[in-house]
């Protein structure tokens, strides 16, 4: 949809961005300094590298595969949110929410983040993105707006509170508070009409990972 916006419009708003300081992972009482780190990665792109077109609005628009390592003892479930802090919006644009992944899970296959109604039989539930629909919202940055970071944030939780089916960003973030045992971070980038610029904005996140 945003690929049809003229490049000069995107350039005009190039400095209008939600900001990395508004990502879920750096909010108060979410992933406090000192929490364990989860080894989160993708077989399809390196951390800080450009997302393959396949996973964006310029391709078929499926969610990328993700893999992660062991979780801390006492983990009740895992939760994932993917946000774009470079969107020209008041808050980061949410591209995916996945809730109540089993603690034994170590991967999400390509295309796994898709609409699932009230959730799966094992309790997992795909939530609502910023377009208020379930599933993966393919990256679709305006041409001329510069490189966008797409930040995959995975959380190991000590217990799993009840949430409504298909949770959105607000209820997701609130449910994390005081429950995060470990957190993982993976960044993919994407842009239109210019080369990707890497992760020059990610410095705001690093203090929370020490």
Exposure string over 148-187, b if 16+ CB within 10 A, otherwise e: bbbbbbbbbbeebeebeebbbbebbbebbeebbbbbbbbb
Residue 70: which residues within 8 A CB-CB, separation 6 or more?
A: none
Tell whether the model's pLDDT for residue 130 goes beyond 90: yes
pLDDT of res. 15: 61
**What does the pLDDT average to over 108-124?**
91
Half-sphere exposure of 141 (CA within 13 A, CB side): 33
Per-residue model confidence (pLDDT) at position 31: 84
What is the pTM assigned to this prediction? 0.85
Does 176 have pLDDT greater than 90? yes
C-alpha–C-alpha distance, residues 203 and 16, integer Å? 18
Closest Cα to residue 130, out of 178, 172, 94? 94
Q: How far apart are CA 119 and CA 97, in angstroms?
A: 12
In the chain, domain spans:
2-192
Residue 166 has a pLDDT of 84
Higher-pLDDT residue of 202, 111? 111
Weakest mean pLDDT among 8-17, 20-29, 123-132, 196-205: 196-205
Q: Degrees (nearest 5) of the Cα angle 49, 52, 55? A: 120
Tens of pLDDT, residue by residue over 44-85, are 999 999 999 999 999 999 999 999 999 999 999 999 999 999
Domain 2-192 indexed as CATH 3.90.280.10? yes
- Do the Cβ atoms of 152 and 187 come closer than 8 Å? yes
Q: What is the pLDDT of residue 185?
A: 96
Range 164-177 average pLDDT: 88
Residues in a beta bridge with 68: 40
Nearest-angstrom CA–CA distance, 129 and 167: 9
> Do the Cβ atoms of 146 and 103 come closer than 8 Å?
no
pLDDT-derived band at 24, boundaries 50, 70, 90: very high
Helices and strands in the chain, H and E counts: 2, 10
Residue identified by tokens 């190039």 is 14
Mean pLDDT within 21-41: 91
**Which residue from 175, 141, 173, 138 is spatially nearest to 158, judged by alpha carbons?**
175
pLDDT average, residue stretch 129-139: 95
- Alpha helices (H) along the chain: 7-12, 169-176
Q: Which one has a higher pLDDT value, 170 or 80?
A: 80
- Residue 99's pLDDT is what? 93
Distance (Å, whole) CA 126 – CA 113: 7
Spatial distance between the Cα atoms of 62 and 18, rounded to a whole number of angstroms:
24
């Amino acid at each position: 949809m945003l690929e049809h916006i003229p490049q000069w419009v995107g350039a005009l708003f190039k400095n209008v961005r939600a900001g990395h300081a508004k990502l879920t992972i750096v909010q108060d009482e979410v992933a406090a300094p000192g929490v364990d780190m989860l080894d989160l990665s993708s077989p399809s792109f390196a951390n800080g590298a450009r997302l393959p077109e396949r996973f964006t609005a310029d391709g078929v628009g499926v969610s990328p595969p993700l893999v992660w390592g062991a979780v801390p003892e006492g983990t009740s479930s895992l939760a994932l949110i993917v946000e774009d802090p470079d969107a020209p919006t008041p808050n980061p644009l949410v591209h995916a929410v996945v809730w109540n992944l089993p603690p034994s899970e170590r991967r999400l296959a390509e295309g796994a983040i898709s609409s699932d109604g009230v959730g799966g039989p094992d309790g997992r539930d795909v939530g609502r993105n910023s377009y208020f629909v379930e599933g993966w919202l393919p990256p679709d940055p305006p041409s001329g707006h510069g490189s966008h970071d797409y930040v995959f944030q995975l959380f190991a939780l000590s217990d799993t509170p009840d949430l409504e089916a298909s949770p959105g960003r607000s209820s997701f973030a609130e449910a994390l508070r005081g429950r995060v045992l470990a957190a993982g971070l993976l960044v993919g980038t994407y842009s239109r009409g210019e080369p990707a610029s890497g992760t020059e904005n990610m410095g705001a996140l690093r203090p929370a990972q020490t």
